[in-house]
Amino acid sequence: MNSLPWIDAIVLSLHETLWDILPILSVIVFFQLTAIRKKIPHLKQLAFGFLLVIFGLGIFLVGLEQCIFPVGIEMANQLTSAEFLAGENLTGAPDRADPGLYFWTYLFAFCIGFSTTLAEPTLIAVALKAREISTGSISALGLRITVAFGVAFGVTLGAYRIVAGTPLYLYIVAGYLVLLLQTFFAPKTIISLAYDTGGVTTSTVTVPLVAALGIGLASNVPGRSPLMDGFGLIAFASLFPIIAVLGYAMISEQIARPKRGN
Amino acid sequence: MTQAVKLLLAKLAGAFFDVLPILLVVVCFQIFVIQKPFPNLQTAVAGFGLVVLGLFLFIQGLETALFPIGERMAFQFAEKGNVFWVVFFGFALGFATTIAEPALTVVARKAASLAAQARIIENSPGSIAQYVFNLKLTIALSVGFAGALGVLRIIKGWPLVWFIICGYGLIVLATVFAPQEIIGIAYDAGGITTSTITVPLITALGLGLATFIRGRNPMVDGFGLIALASLTPIMFVMVFGIIFHGVSK
C-alpha cells in the first residue's frame, strides 16, 4: 500500500551513504595511482564489497529511522514526561527532583544503552578485527558485551546525574582518575583496543536514542535546563566502555595468574 | 552450494540476534511500563526487517571490501618502505572523511550561532559562514593530524599511553582556559569523527601496518588510531576557542 515512501527513503539514504563513501574512495584511488602505483588486486571483488557497504548502510539507516528511532525516542519522552513521573509519585507533579522516583527511567537508560551498543556496526567491525588479531583469545561477542555493559552503566549514571543535578566535571574527573589508574595496572596488550572502543560506541545507533533520553530528562526534571544539563550522556557513554574493557582484562588476568603459576 | 547458503543464513541470523535486544527492550517497556498499544505496528515490523537486512549486507561488505582494502594498502605501503607517503595517507584519510561529514556542519553551525549570540563574531551571514568554515577546517585538520600521528606512532612503535596521558592532560589544561561556550562544542566534536565506514578501514590499516612492519605487535601497536582521532578534535577546538574567543575570565 505505502511501498513508495519506503523506496524514496531508501534511495535518499543510498544517496547520502554514497556521499559519505566518495571522499574515502577518492583518497584510496589517489594514493594507489601516485604513491603505490600498482594495480589494485581483486578489483571486482572490492567493487562488489563497496556496493554491499553502500546498500547495507543505506538500508540499515532507513530501518533505524522508520522503526527504532521513532519508537525509542517516543518512549524516552514518555518515560521522562511530567505525567509519567507524577503517576509514580501519586501526590501530583513532583515539586523537587527526587532521584528515587525515576526507577523506570534508569532501567530504560540501562537497557537502551546496552542493546543499542550491541547493534553498533562500528563496534562489530572492531570486535571482529580484535578476534582475528588475537587469534581468538578475545571473543568478539564477549568484547561487545563488555563494552555494552560499560555504555549501559555510563548512560544510567549520566541519567542519574541529570536528575540529581551534580556538576558534570566531578564525574568526568573521577572517571579519568579511575581510567588513569587502570591504564597503569592493566595488561599492556589490551590498552590500545580498550581506548579504541571508547571512540566507536558513540555512533549511528546509540547517539540519537541516548540524546533523546538526555534532552527529555533535562527538559522535564524540575530545575534542569536542556541547554545546561542535556550534555554529558554521550561523554559518559564513551568513558565507561574503556573502564569496563580494562576492568574485564584486569580481572581475567588475575583469575588466570594462579593457574599459570602451577 | 548448500554449504554457502547455510553460511549466509547463519550470518543473517547473526544480524538478527545483534538487533534483537533493542526490539526486546522496546517491546517490554511498551507492554509493561507504558501500557499503551504500539503505534504503527506494520511500519515498525518492516523497519526492523530493514535494519536486520542492512546490518547483514554491511557486515558482508566489511569482509569483502573495507577490511581487505585497508590491509592491502598497509601491505603495499610497508613493502614500499616510504614513511612519508603512509603518514600522508593517514592525514588525507582523516581530513577527507571528516570534512565531508554532515554531522560536522551541524556542530559548526551550532557553534557559530552560540558565538554570534555571545557577540564574539558579528551576527551577519558573512562572518557566520567564515566562522563555520574556520571551525570545520580546524576539526578536519585535527582528525588528519590524528591520522598522521597515529600512523607514525605505529611505524615507530611509540606506546599509545604517552599520547593518551599527554592528550588528556592538555585537554584538562585547555578546559581551564577555554571560553565556556566552546567547551560543549569541543566535546561534541570528539564524537563526530567515528564514521561507520571510516572506522573499519582505519582499523584494518593500523592492524595491517603493525602486522607487516617487523618488530611491531598488532595487539599493542595496531589499535589506537580511533582513540587518537577522538582526542585531537577536543584539543584543537578548545585552542580554536582560545584564539577566536579569547581566554576565559
Domain shared by B151 and B201, yes or no: yes
Q: How confident is the model at residue A89 (pLDDT cuts 50, 70, 90)?
A: very low
- For range A244-256, the mean pLDDT: 90
Q: By the 8 A CB rule, do A121 and A137 touch?
A: no
Here the ipTM equals 0.89
Q: Chain A interface, mutation test: which of B199, B211, B220, B231, most A Cβ atoms within 10 Å?
A: B199
The residue in chain B having the minimum alpha-carbon distance to the alpha carbon of residue A206 is B22
Residue B66 belongs to some domain of the structure: no
- For range A24-42, the mean pLDDT: 85
What does the pLDDT look like over B93-111, one tens digit per residue? Answer: 999 988 887 778 877 888 8
Are A62 and B50 inside 8 Å of each other by CB? Answer: yes
Cell numbers found for residue B170: 592538555
Q: How confident is the model at residue B224 (pLDDT cuts 50, 70, 90)?
A: very high
Are A67 and B101 inside 8 Å of each other by CB? Answer: no
Separation between Cα atoms, residue B159 and residue A192, nearest integer Å: 9
Q: What is the dihedral of CA A91, A223, A202, A101, to 10 degrees?
A: -20
Residue B138 to chain A, least CA–CA distance (Å): 18
Q: What is chain A's mean pLDDT, rounded?
A: 83
Q: How confident is the model at residue B208 (pLDDT cuts 50, 70, 90)?
A: very high
Domain shared by B111 and B30, yes or no: no
Separation between Cα atoms, residue B229 and residue B9, nearest integer Å: 36
Q: How confident is the model at residue A94 (pLDDT cuts 50, 70, 90)?
A: very low
Residue B94 belongs to some domain of the structure: yes
The predicted structure's pLDDT at residue A13: 86
Are A231 and B187 inside 8 Å of each other by CB? Answer: yes
Residue B98 belongs to some domain of the structure: yes
Residue B24 belongs to some domain of the structure: yes
Angle between helices B41-61 and A121-133 (to 10 degrees): 30
Cell numbers found for residue A241: 566502555
Domain shared by B22 and B139, yes or no: no
| Cβ neighbours, 10 Å, residue B99 | 17
What is the 3-state composition of chain B as percent helix, strand, coil, each rounded to the nearest 5? 85, 0, 15
Domain shared by B157 and B188, yes or no: yes
The predicted structure's pLDDT at residue A124: 95
Separation between Cα atoms, residue B100 and residue A23, nearest integer Å: 7
| Structural domains in chain B (count) | 2
The predicted structure's pLDDT at residue A111: 94
34-93 of A, contacting B, C-beta below 8 A: 35-36, 38, 40-42, 45-68, 70-72, 74-75, 78-79
Highest mean pLDDT among A212-216, A240-244, B7-11, B43-47: A240-244
Residue B205 belongs to some domain of the structure: yes
Name the DSSP letter for residue B26. Answer: H
Among A62-66, A243-247, B98-102, where is mean pLDDT lowest? B98-102
Select from B45, B55, B68 the Cβ nearest to the Cβ of A121.
Answer: B55
Higher pLDDT, B15 or B35: B15
Residue B127 to chain A, least CA–CA distance (Å): 24
Domain shared by B16 and B135, yes or no: no
Domain shared by B56 and B86, yes or no: no
The predicted structure's pLDDT at residue A104: 85
Select from A22, A50, A75 the Cβ nearest to the Cβ of B34.
Answer: A75
Residue B15 belongs to some domain of the structure: yes
The residue in chain A having the minimum alpha-carbon distance to the alpha carbon of residue B15 is A119
Domain shared by B43 and B100, yes or no: no
- For range A230-243, the mean pLDDT: 82
Are A193 and B58 inside 8 Å of each other by CB? Answer: no
Residue A258 to chain B, least CA–CA distance (Å): 24
State the residue range of the domain holding B85.
81-245
Residue A204 to chain B, least CA–CA distance (Å): 7
Are B58 and A74 inside 8 Å of each other by CB? Answer: no
| Cβ neighbours, 10 Å, residue B28 | 13
Q: By the 8 A CB rule, do B143 and B98 touch?
A: yes
Q: Chain B interface, mutation test: which of A3, A18, A32, A53, most B Cβ atoms within 10 Å?
A: A53
Domain shared by B93 and B166, yes or no: yes
| Cβ neighbours, 10 Å, residue A216 | 23
Domain shared by B94 and B51, yes or no: no
Identity of the residue numbered B196: T
Domain shared by B23 and B130, yes or no: no
Q: How many CB pairs under 8 A join A and B?
A: 291
Name the DSSP letter for residue B60. Answer: H
Separation between Cα atoms, residue B132 and residue B55, nearest integer Å: 34
Residues 6+ apart with CB under 8 A from A121: A57, A60, A203, A204, A205, B55, B58, B59, B196
- For range A63-84, the mean pLDDT: 81
The predicted structure's pLDDT at residue A71: 80
Distances (CA, A) of B26 to A70, B33, B47, B127, B150: 11, 10, 14, 45, 39
Q: Residue B143: which H helix or E strand, with range?
A: helix B125-156
Select from A67, A231, A235 the Cβ nearest to the Cβ of B47.
Answer: A67
Q: By the 8 A CB rule, do B234 and B184 touch?
A: no
Q: What is the 3-state secondary structure (H, E, C) of chain A?
A: CCHHHHHHHHHHHHHHHHHHHHHHHHHHHHHHHHHHCCCCCCHHHHHHHHHHHHHHHHHHHHHHHHHHHHHHHHHHHHHCCHHHHHHHHCCCCCCCCCHHHHHHHHHHHHHHHHHHHHCCHHHHHHHHHHHHHCCCCCCHHHHHHHHHHHHHHHHHHHHHHHHHCCCHHHHHHHHHHHHHHHHHHCCHHHHHHHHHHHHHCCCCCHHHHHHHHHHHHHHHCCCCCHHHHCCCHHHHHHHHHHHHHHHHHHHHHHHHHHHHHC
- For range A216-243, the mean pLDDT: 78
Residues 6+ apart with CB under 8 A from B149: B90, B163, B228, B232
Domain shared by B33 and B122, yes or no: no
Residue B69 belongs to some domain of the structure: no
The predicted structure's pLDDT at residue A90: 43
Separation between Cα atoms, residue B185 and residue B135, nearest integer Å: 10
Residue B132 belongs to some domain of the structure: yes
Select from A16, A60, A176 the Cβ nearest to the Cβ of B168.
Answer: A176
What does the pLDDT look like over A40-61, one tens digit per residue? Answer: 778 899 999 999 999 999 999 9
Separation between Cα atoms, residue A126 and residue B207, nearest integer Å: 11
Which residue, A56, A31, A161, A156, is CA-closest to B57?
A56
Domain shared by B109 and B180, yes or no: yes
| Cβ neighbours, 10 Å, residue B179 | 18
Select from A27, A180, A203 the Cβ nearest to the Cβ of B92.
Answer: A27
Cell numbers found for residue A147: 563494552
The predicted structure's pLDDT at residue B221: 93
The residue in chain A having the minimum alpha-carbon distance to the alpha carbon of residue B23 is A68
Separation between Cα atoms, residue A153 and residue A236, nearest integer Å: 9
